[in-house]
């Protein structure tokens, strides 16, 4: 079982950052294949560990969860052809679930995340309704000890200036109703990726997201 990431995988990403061009990548594709295999085996073990608190996660194919390394540069000023990270989306809108977990591996910028990212307008509206109606339950989840230890709170990326249409301006949950994503992020160090029991440690952090995910899924069950 692959319980941690190899240092050679992080080294590959560091070298790719300095040589982000097709010639170098083609000449060193064997390094990419080795690094990708390392991440895949680690994600397989991570899924196994996460299944102890969320059996649904076993439906996820580790290979399909990995994001492609090739960048879509059609509408970007940055024409670098390759991403300098590995990402795995565990759920996150795939299958019947709107929630999920995400692993991001990038030297010095790695993180774990979970929740709902960029939901469809109809989904977003239902989540906001649930938060408005069940505010106390929602706040209890955010106040749980493990949750507070692992996360600083929900991401405020793209937060609205005003309470969205259809909700009272003085709704006690108004600040949460302004959110467009319901995501939490936990930064992880390079050292924690290399640690012997990294998969077990990360699964424990993901476990503290599950009550939030369950709440966000509840309007759709």
C-alpha separations of 218 from 55, 96, 127, 129 in Å: 17, 13, 9, 11
Per-residue model confidence as pLDDT tens digits over 162-179: 999 999 999 999 999 999
Write phi, then psi, for 210 (nearest 5 degrees): -55, -45
Look at residue 122 and tell me whether its pLDDT is greater than 80: yes
Contact predicate 17/84, CB 8 Å: yes
* Domain chopping of the chain, boundaries: 7-220
DSSP 3-state of 187: strand
**Which residues make beta-bridge pairs with 105?**
86
User: For the whole model, what pTM was predicted?
Assistant: 0.95
Digit-coded pLDDT (tens) for 36-47: 999 999 999 999
The structure tokens listed for 1 are 């079982």
Select the more confidently predicted residue: 151 or 74: 151
Fold topology of 7-220: BirA Bifunctional Protein; domain 2 (3.30.930)
- pLDDT of 93 > 70? The answer is no
Residue 123 clears pLDDT 80, i.e. is over it: yes
- Whether the pLDDT of residue 95 is over 70: the answer is no
Instruction: Using the predicted structure, report yes or no on whether residue 69 has a pLDDT greater than 90.
Output: yes
Mean pLDDT of the chain: 95
Q: Say which range, 25-29, 56-60, 196-200, has the weakest mean pLDDT.
A: 56-60
């Amino acid at each position: 079982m692959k319980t941690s990431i190899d240092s050679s995988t992080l080294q590959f990403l560091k070298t790719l950052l300095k040589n982000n061009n097709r010639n170098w990548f083609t000449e060193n594709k064997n390094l990419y294949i080795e690094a990708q295999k390392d991440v895949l085996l680690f994600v397989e073990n991570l899924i196994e560990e996460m299944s102890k608190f969320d059996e649904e996660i076993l439906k996820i194919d580790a290979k399909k969860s990995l994001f492609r390394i090739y960048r879509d540069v059609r509408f970007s000023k940055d024409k670098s052809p390759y991403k300098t990270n590995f990402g795995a989306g565990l759920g996150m809108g795939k299958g019947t679930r709107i929630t999920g977990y995400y692993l991001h591996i990038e030297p010095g910028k790695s993180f774990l995340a979970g929740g709902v990212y960029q939901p469809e307008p109809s989904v977003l509206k239902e989540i906001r309704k649930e938060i408005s109606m069940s505010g106390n339950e929602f706040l209890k989840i955010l106040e749980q000890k493990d949750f507070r230890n692992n996360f600083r709170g929900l991401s405020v990326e793209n937060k609205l200036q005003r309470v969205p249409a259809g909700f009272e301006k003085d709704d006690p949950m108004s600040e949460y109703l302004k959110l467009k994503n319901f995501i939490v992020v936990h930064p992880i160090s390079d050292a924690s990726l290399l640690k012997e029991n990294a998969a077990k440690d990360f699964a424990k952090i993901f476990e503290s997201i599950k009550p939030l995910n369950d709440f966000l899924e509840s309007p759709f069950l």
